[in-house]
Copies of this chain bind each other. A is one copy, B any other.
Amino acid sequence: MSMIDDEIILERVSAWGQTIKGFRHEHAIEAIQGGKLILQGLRGKGGDWAHMPARCSTQDAAFAFVAEMALLFWLDDCYDLALLADDELALAVAVLTGREHAAPAHLKGCEVIRQTLAEYAASAAEYQNLLEHTAAYAHALATERERSADNCSYSEYLENGIASIGYHNVLGCLSLLWGLGMPEQMRSTAFRATLRRVCIIGRLQNDLHTAAEECVGPLVANAASVVARMTSAFPVAFVEQELAGHGRLLDRHLATQPLDETWQPLVTILRSIRESYYEKSVQRYRRSSQDA
C-alpha cells in the first residue's frame, strides 16, 4: 500500500470517530485491517493500482473507505451491544441512509461521512446505491436483534445474513470512490446471484469464526446456534459443509457467468476472508475474552 500511510489513516479515522457516540478504537483498527485487504482487489497483477479514485486523492479515498468500514462495525455494535438509545439509533440510521441530513454533535461523524462520500462519489447513482445498501444493512441488523429471542429457520437466518454481513456496503463504498460501476452491475441477474452467494459465504465464515471463538457469550445470531436450536446439537460440521457447498455452487455459477476483471479480484478476496482476515483478527472477534 505504497500510497496509503496506515498511521495517517488510522489517526484520521480515530479523530472522526470521536464525534460518534460509542465509537471505539477497535472499530478503526479492525476497519484498517479489513480495509487494506479489500483494497488489494483494486491492484493489478503487477501490484500497482489498476484503478484510481474518481473524485479525490487515493489518501482521501482510503480514509473515507476505512471510515465507512469502521462505521459498519460500529453500527453492528449499536444493535448488538445497545451503544445508543433507540431514538438515537433511529436518527443515526436516518442520516446514514439519506433520510435526514443533519446529526446532533454526538453523532456528527455520521453526517460528516455521508457528506464526504456524497462529494467523493463517482456519480449520483453510486451514492444512491450506497444509501440503499446501508438501509438494507441496518434493517438486517434490526431483524437479527428482534429475532434473537424468537424462532427463525436456518434459511430465514441466512436470507437476513446476506444483508447483515455488510459486503454490499463494502463493495458499494469501493465502487463509489473508485468508480467501479456497481449500480450498473446490480442490474445483471448473474451479478446479483454471484454477490448473493459471496455474501452467504461471508456470513458462514463469520459465524464459524464466532462459534469457534465463543467470544460473545450465548450465540444469539449465528448459523450454528440457529441449527443447534432445532437439532439439539452444536452443528459446526453442518455449517462447515454448508460453507464448502456454497463455495462449490459459486464456482459452478462463475464457470458459466464469469465476472469482469474489476470484480473478480474483489470476489476472490471476499471468499478468502476466513484465512486472511478472521485468523488475524485479535481485536473485535476476541473481545469478550480480553474484556473478561
Which residues of A are interface residues toward B (Cβ below 8 A)? 151-156, 159, 189, 200, 227, 230-233, 235, 237-238, 241-242, 244-246, 248-249
Contact = CB atoms under 8 A, between A and B. Distances in A.
Contacts of A242: 153-155
- Chain A interface mostly: helix
Contact of A246 (B153, B233, B241, B248): B153
A245 B154 contact: yes
Contact of A237 (B231, B238, B241, B244): B231
A67 B77 CA distance: 58
Contacts of A248: 153, 156
A104 to B, nearest CB: 34
A271 to B, nearest CB: 16
A232 B230 contact: no
Contact of A153 (B156, B159, B231, B241): B241
Contacts of A233: 231-233
A156 to B, nearest CB: 4
A246 B154 contact: no
Nearest to A157: B245
Contacts of A154: 238, 241-242, 245
A157 to B, nearest CB: 8
Nearest to A233: B231
A30 to B, nearest CB: 29
Nearest to A189: B189
Contacts of A237: 230-231
Contacts of A227: 231, 238
A159 B249 contact: yes
Q: Most chain-B CB neighbours within 10 Å: which of A152, A159, A241? A: A241
